[in-house]
Amino acid sequence: MNEPTEDREAGSRIGLKWIFVAIAAAGIGAGLLLLATAPDPEALPPAKAQAPVLATHLVEALPHQPRTTITALLEPRREVEIFSEMAGRVVEVGADEFDSVEGGQMLVRMDPLLAHVAVNRAEAAIARAKSQGVLAQAQLQRNQGLARVDVASRAALDEAENASRQARAARLEAEAALAEARDRLAKMQIDAPFSGVLRAFAVEAGEYLRPGERIAELLDVGALRVRVTLSDRQIVSVLTGTEATLDVDARPGETFRGRVISVGGAADSRSRKFPILLEIDNSAGRLLPGMVAQVDLSLGESRQLMAVPLDSVLDEFGLRYVFVVSGDSQNGWLATKRRIETRPISFQPTTLEVSAGLAEGERIATSSIRQLRDGMAVRPLTGEAAGIHTVRKTEQ
């Protein structure tokens, strides 16, 4: 009974083998048929490489005005502290703290009684000296006449001359005392030395002032000043009279004009920078001392320069390169790698000045520069091939 079963299993295995052989033969036949009917690869045209699309800039020489912007505080043109030169009791006050005052306006008046008395006493002394002088001169003339006829002695003549000189000296002394008394009387009233604003004024009527006592602080705000410092390379381009513009944080949207009135002749020993002083007209009263201003200052004359976007420059081991795009729409465009020399432009962090390596009118790639290779075929963006996309005008 086992023999028929083994025969059947052997027959099944032989049948599966023939099935696999048939399938393999069919596959081989299909492959040969496809190979026979496929086109010849050498007869097909080669695949054309796709040229990358680039944004470009046309390099031009454009006017450039070197400038610098510095943050500074506005200061008054003048500021003085006013002191009392005389002692006395305050009888009148002519202003309050923070008031605007005119030049010559009375600020404080002290009791002038004693000063008036001193002036009257000095005037009386002058009158007395004049009378003594007239008498001494008359006596001198009388003795001189007697001496000519040998009636008066030489000693009497000398005494008369001495009395005349003493009378003249007494009159000069009295006149000096009168000038001093009048000066003391004038100083019993304290006036504003110039127009301005009283930043401090702490005096009240009835208060007793002593010589040397501070009574006020006066600021001249008709014009304000700004002190800024520049480097040695910047200071050589600044002259007295150089114009500047100011943007004040407290006055947004307004621009004020100033000019350089003084240029420092030596650098600060610590900062190694050179100071300059600018003055701004404030007749309209729009500005106040202590406000923060952004000073925009021109440095020298305008000049021509070629600038390129920072994104178009490839930095390799400290050397800088650009890809110059040349060609035309018919023959195609090529990107050529070229080394250039550059230097930064103040206050334009996204732009570099080209000092060597490029000529005006050449076009450079500004996109995909890290994927480019020297001599690679490229395609400028539509419109740029006609030269309508250029480096924007530099502003400083």
Helices marked H in the chain: 2-37, 113-148, 154-186, 232-235
Q: Is the dihedral of CA 316, 322, 323, 324 positive or negative?
A: negative
Q: Domain map of the chain by residue range?
A: 54-64+304-386, 112-187, 218-298
The separation between CA 230 and the C-alpha centre of its own chain, rounded to angstroms, equals: 9
The domain defined by 112-187 carries CATH number 1.10.287: yes
How many angstroms separate the CA atoms of 194 and 284, rounded? 17
**Is 324 in a helix, a strand, or coil?**
strand
| pTM assigned to the model | 0.58
CATH superfamily of 218-298: Efflux pump adaptor protein, beta barrel domain (2.40.30.170)
pLDDT in tens, the chain (396 residues): 445 555 555 555 666 666 666 676 666 766 666 656 655 555 545 444 577 888 888 888 877 777 788 999 999 999 999 999 999 999 999 999 989 999 999 999 999 999 899 999 888 888 888 877 777 777 767 666 766 666 666 666 667 677 777 778 878 888 888 899 999 999 999 999 999 999 999 899 999 999 999 999 999 999 999 999 998 888 888 888 888 999 999 999 999 999 999 998 888 888 899 999 999 999 998 999 999 999 998 887 777 788 888 888 888 888 899 889 888 878 888 888 889 888 887 767 788 888 888 888 888 888 888 888 888 888 888 554 444 344 443 344
Q: Using CA atoms of 84, 89, 94, 98 in order, give the dihedral in degrees to the nearest 10.
A: 60
Which pLDDT tens digit goes with each residue over 351-364?
Answer: 888 888 888 888 88
How many angstroms separate the CA atoms of 257 and 348, rounded? 23
Which pLDDT tens digit goes with each residue over 36-59?
Answer: 665 555 554 544 457 788 888 888
Domain 54-64+304-386 fold: 2.40.420
